[in-house]
Structure 1
Amino acid sequence: MHKNAVQQSQFVYLNGCSTPVLSRFSYSAEAPFTVGLAFRIEPGEWVEWEFARELLLTGLTEPAGIGDIRIRPDLATDENFLVLELESPDGYAVVEIHRDEVRRFAETTVEIVAAGTESEHLDLDALIDALTTARP
């Protein structure tokens, strides 16, 4: 990984599954507004989600999100976990993740790109060029 990117792997618990699942958070200063979350479903095969880093930062301390991804501390049963609800046309999942591990990942993203300065790290010209360049 580059010094402007971070990746952290950990095990998570999916609703209804007693065996933990390998997951991977990722972040890069090249896409400063988003974080990635992937779940390994088979060796070499991952299901990936991307969502706003701000959603993750807020969800560490209070409920956040009203769309396909919602994050909240699990204050009802165990405050050491975060609860992520993921919804898509293909299904719905509830994931429990160790809160301290997510906090460490989030803090590292803020060290790379301070919260509120994301737009300073976004190369809009390159993004526009990539979106408008015809591909064969």
Structure 2
Amino acid sequence: MNSFVHKSLVVQLQAGTTDRFPVLAHLSYDAADPFAVTAVFSHDGRVLARWRLDREMLSDGLQGPVGLGDVRLRPVSTGVWQELRMELLGDARPDGGRQCAVVFAWAPALAAFLRETREVVPPGREEVRIDDFLADVIAGG
């Protein structure tokens, strides 16, 4: 069985007061890191941002608002179009504000990706290799 799932989606990015514009979101899931989904956002061959997101939080965000910190998710419905709104907060600016980007992903495509990840590692069956983690921490990794 494959322990890796990858899907590329066209999503809409909105930064600041700009209009939405399309970017690619490359989603990946690796059974070796069973709680995380990596999202790499790119445009014209340039990586704009890379985020590690909690798989369960993504799933919960399709159903209702979640997140209090740097990542906030909630479903958005515009008639027949269902989206997941992902608010991603970045580092603080000198004026005390924070960078912020909002990504809108087509909810059915994201749900299909998450279903594939659950086929690789069902929820509740995730294993954490604490010995490997501690060895990495001790080694300074």
- TM-score of the superposition, structure 1-length normalised? 0.86
Secondary structure at the counterpart of residue 6 of structure 1: strand
Aligned pair count?
131
- Preserved contact between residue 64 and residue 72 of structure 1 (Cα < 8 Å): yes
Change (3 A) 1:94 1:44: closer
- Preserved contact between residue 40 and residue 47 of structure 2 (Cα < 8 Å): no
Shift of 1:18: 4.4
Aligned counterpart, 1:125: 131
- Cα distance in structure 1, aligned partners of 2:118 and 2:62: 14
- Preserved contact between residue 69 and residue 84 of structure 1 (Cα < 8 Å): yes
1:5 aligns with 2:11: no
- TM-score of the superposition, structure 2-length normalised? 0.83
- Cα distance in structure 2, aligned partners of 1:89 and 1:42: 24
| Structure 2, unpaired ranges of 5+ | 93-98
Which residue of 40, 65, 68 maps to 2:67? 65
More strand per residue: 2
1:83 aligns with 2:118: no
1:115 aligns with 2:114: no
- Cα distance in structure 2, aligned partners of 1:125 and 1:41: 38
Aligned counterpart, 1:94: 102
- Cα distance in structure 2, aligned partners of 1:65 and 1:31: 21
- Cα distance in structure 2, aligned partners of 1:81 and 1:25: 16
- Cα distance in structure 2, aligned partners of 1:51 and 1:134: 23
- Preserved contact between residue 41 and residue 47 of structure 1 (Cα < 8 Å): no
Change (3 A) 1:43 1:128: same
- Preserved contact between residue 23 and residue 41 of structure 2 (Cα < 8 Å): yes
- Preserved contact between residue 29 and residue 38 of structure 2 (Cα < 8 Å): yes
- Preserved contact between residue 12 and residue 21 of structure 2 (Cα < 8 Å): yes
Aligned counterpart, 1:39: 41
Shift of 1:41: 3.9
1:106 aligns with 2:108: no
Shift of 1:115: 0.8
- Aligned CA-pair RMSD: 1.9
